[in-house]
């Protein structure tokens, strides 16, 4: 059951990242407000499945820690905390208005790490279909990031606001 929850988490988060990556293209076909709601819903559903995956594995944590790659074992909970953080900043957009785009870039790191986590220590990591699916996800994640990076407006919006230095003479 935990493997299914993990697969669903990665799949929903993949869809969420794809909507964010290709939003300029998608809003030509879909209403922006509806697309925005879907983007948030997919992120929340992905988070719910990621939390379910973690909770289902709690009884087996000691066993997995002793047999799995410790780097990827430890990466799982770290990525879960980062996912909670990025989704929280998106839900509190007004509070993080100046930096949420930069924070949201973590979603690419989260998704790539989650996919690598599944490929290295997942119970079904040896399945060819799963490998093909995950490598397909990785391909589109990098294509989405490349697409975003080619957009000058998006790159400009990534910059953190700088405080303007006061001008004028101070006596």
pLDDT in tens, 23-56: 888 999 999 999 989 988 999 999 999 999 988 8
Confidence band for 171, pLDDT divided at 50, 70 and 90 = very low
> Under a CB-based contact definition with an 8 Å cutoff, are residues 2 and 56 in contact?
yes
Where would I find the H helices in 22-166? 23-26, 32-57, 61-67, 70-91, 100-104, 106-121, 128-149, 152-158
Neighbours of 165 (CB within 10 A): 5
The reported pTM is 0.78
Helix (H, G, I), strand (E, B), or coil: what is residue 16?
Answer: helix
Gap between the Cα atoms of 10 and 46, Å rounded:
7
Write down the pLDDT at residue 57.
80
Q: Is the pLDDT of residue 14 over 90?
A: yes
Tokens representing 116? 């690598």
* Radius of gyration over every alpha carbon of the chain, rounded to an integer in angstroms: 19
What pLDDT, in 10s, does the model give residues 61-120? Answer: 666 555 556 666 777 888 888 888 888 888 887 776 667 777 888 899 999 998 988 888
Tokens representing 24? 């300029």
Gap between the Cα atoms of 74 and 54, Å rounded:
12
Gap between the Cα atoms of 21 and 43, Å rounded:
14
End-to-end CA gap in the chain: 70
């Amino acid at each position: 059951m935990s493997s299914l929850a993990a697969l669903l988490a990665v799949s929903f988060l993949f869809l969420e990242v794809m909507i964010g990556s290709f939003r300029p293209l998608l809003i030509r076909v879909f209403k922006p407000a509806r697309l925005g709601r879907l983007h948030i819903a997919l992120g929340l559903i992905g988070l719910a499945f990621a939390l379910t995956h973690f909770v289902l594995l709690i009884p087996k944590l000691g066993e997995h820690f002793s047999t799995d790659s410790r780097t990827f074992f430890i990466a799982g909970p770290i990525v879960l905390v980062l996912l909670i953080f990025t989704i929280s900043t998106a839900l509190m957009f007004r509070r993080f208005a100046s930096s949420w785009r930069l924070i949201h870039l973590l979603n690419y790191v989260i998704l790539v790490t989650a996919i690598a986590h599944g490929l290295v220590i997942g119970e079904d990591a040896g399945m060819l279909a799963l490998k093909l699916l995950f490598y397909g996800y990785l391909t589109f994640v990098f294509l989405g990031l490349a697409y975003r990076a080619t957009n000058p407006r998006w790159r400009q919006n990534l910059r953190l606001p700088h405080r303007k230095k006061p001008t004028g003479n101070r006596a």
